[in-house]
């Protein structure tokens, strides 16, 4: 159907980009709860080990992603901001979310991150990028390993001797 109008052209190659429609739901960002805190005004914060440096969509233009515990430990629900470890007011994954109560080291799944997730990630404040894992049925394969600090620093020039 696409090639029909071009059938008489020799040596033509079609390249199709699947786009957000196809890839968005294929990704989940898994993050670990570092701690939960409450400010003097009663507002709760769930601080995770990921944030705007791995998923910029929420702070950049209000992109919404469901955030759910990987393992539900209780039926108690709290209202909280789910935020990252970077000391920036824009470092959030979700604001004023109703979520079951979570504890330190619990895992959260941030859904619909297959498009514009890892490709928009950064090394902000020297944070390494997370691994990417391909899951197929009950099997999985690490398709991009988690970065180390050494990976980041290897690209930097030594300037001490200048």
Catalytic residue numbers? 87
CB atoms within 10 A of CB 102: 23
Which residues neighbour 125 within 8 Å (Cβ) at sequence distance 6 or greater? 53, 86
Shortest CA distance to 124 belongs to which of 74, 41, 30, 56? 56
Contact 105, 70 (CB under 8 A): no
């Amino acid at each position: 159907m696409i090639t029909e109008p071009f059938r008489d052209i020799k040596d033509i190659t079609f390249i199709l980009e699947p786009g957000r429609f196809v890839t968005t739901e294929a990704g989940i960002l898994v993050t670990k709860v570092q701690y939960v805190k409450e400010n003097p005004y009663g507002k709760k914060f769930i601080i995770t080990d990921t944030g705007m440096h791995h998923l910029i969509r929420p702070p950049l233009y209000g992109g919404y992603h469901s955030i759910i515990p990987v393992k539900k430990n209780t039926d108690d629900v709290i209202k909280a901001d789910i935020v990252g470890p970077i000391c920036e007011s824009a470092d959030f994954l979700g604001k004023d979310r109703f979520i079951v109560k979570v504890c330190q080291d619990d895992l959260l799944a941030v859904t619909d991150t297959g498009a514009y997730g890892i490709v928009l990630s950064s090394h902000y404040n020297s944070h390494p990028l997370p691994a990417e894992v391909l899951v197929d049925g009950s099997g999985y394969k690490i398709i991009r390993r988690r970065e180390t600090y050494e990976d980041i620093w290897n690209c930097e020039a030594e300037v001490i001797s200048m």
